[in-house]
């Protein structure tokens, strides 16, 4: 059975951020991820994690309130991208993050793609010990975001040909972008190095959308057992009260002897 991580940005918001890793562990998660850890020092994070695995962080987005969503694909923002990437790489390395999601930013057109590929190649060379992920985001949630199609992301990954850059499969965004998240998974499974799950269409607890979580986990076990499956959803009520899906997956794992 895959390892399950709790996305601390969306889950356990009933308690302060630095209390959430402990809550996640006590509720049965194997590790955690956090979208943007940068408002808290690495020393504080080390203490809060207390040895818990960190599955993923994102590169800094810039000024979110002003519309920034990263810089990797934004022409003219190369210096901002490099500064933000090096900061993210420092956090990821010190905290032992398994994956670093490189945010593309708001941009479009051939110049944006050229900027994106050049920045990604630079980033991979600067951080040879890190595995990078690219995540397509749907335009309803992230208007104007450059990377908004799984086939587009796959083409860029294939053109780069760098084994440490892979595809981040978010069930919610895949379903919003392409309608059939299962087809996206089947097409791009060999490129995927991180998975995020949520219910569809409400983005609450996992379930719905024509995607079987047990089947997904079996497929990961068979082909990519190193992949983390992260719960990135908005709990319908309290986080702990909605973890029946995790309890069921753990019980299934015990039953089949994983």
State residue 184's pLDDT score. Answer: 94
Record the pTM. 0.96
State residue 254's pLDDT score. Answer: 74
Token digits of residue 195 = 């998975």
Average pLDDT, 10 consecutive residues per value, the chain (258 residues): 95 98 98 98 98 98 95 98 98 97 98 98 97 97 97 97 97 93 94 95 85 89 91 96 94 73
Separation in Å, CA 187 to CA 30, 34, 77, 117, 124: 28, 27, 33, 22, 25
State residue 258's pLDDT score. Answer: 58
Q: Count Cα atoms within 13 angstroms, Cβ side, for 233.
A: 27
Whether residue 132 contacts residue 166, with contact meaning beta carbons closer than 8 Å, is answered with yes
Summarize pLDDT for 188-233 with one digit per residue, the tens: 999 999 999 999 889 999 987 678 899 999 999 888 889 999 999 9
Token digits of residue 26 = 């006590």
% helix / strand / coil in the chain, to the nearest 5? 45, 15, 40
Active site residue 232: yes
Catalytic residue among 33, 113, 135, 205: 135
State residue 257's pLDDT score. Answer: 65
Catalytic residue among 33, 113, 205, 232: 232
Domain ranges of the chain: 3-256
Domain 3-256 part of CATH 3.30.980.20: no
Strands lying side by side in the sheet with 99-101: 31-33, 3-7, 228-231, 192-197, 165-170, 132-134, 99-101, 56-58
Whether residue 247 contacts residue 22, with contact meaning beta carbons closer than 8 Å, is answered with no
């Amino acid at each position: 059975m895959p390892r399950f991580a709790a996305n601390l940005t969306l889950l356990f918001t009933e308690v302060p951020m630095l209390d959430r890793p402990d809550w996640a562990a006590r509720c049965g998660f194997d590790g955690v991820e956090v979208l943007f850890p940068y408002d808290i020092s690495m020393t504080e994070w080390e203490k809060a994690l207390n040895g818990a695995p960190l599955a993923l962080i994102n590169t800094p987005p810039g000024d979110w309130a002003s519309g920034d969503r990263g810089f990797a694909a934004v022409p003219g923002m190369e210096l901002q991208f490099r500064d933000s990437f090096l900061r993210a790489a420092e956090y990821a390395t010190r905290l032992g993050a398994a994956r670093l999601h490189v945010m593309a930013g708001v941009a479009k057109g051939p110049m944006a793609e050229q900027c994106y590929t050049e920045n990604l190649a630079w980033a991979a060379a600067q951080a040879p010990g890190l595995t990078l992920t690219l995540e397509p985001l749907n335009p309803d949630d992230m208007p104007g975001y450059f990377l908004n199609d799984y086939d587009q992301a796959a083409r860029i990954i294939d053109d780069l040909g760098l084994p440490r850059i892979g595809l981040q499969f978010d069930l919610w965004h895949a379903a919003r972008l392409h309608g059939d998240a299962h087809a996206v998974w089947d097409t791009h499974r060999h490129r995927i190095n991180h998975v995020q799950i949520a219910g569809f269409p409400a983005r609450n607890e996992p379930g719905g959308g024509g995607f079987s979580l047990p089947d997904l986990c079996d497929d990961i076990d068979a082909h990519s057992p190193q992949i983390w499956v992260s719960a990135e959803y908005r709990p319908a009520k309290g986080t702990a009260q909605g973890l029946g899906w995790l309890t069921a997956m753990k019980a299934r794992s015990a039953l089949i002897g994983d």
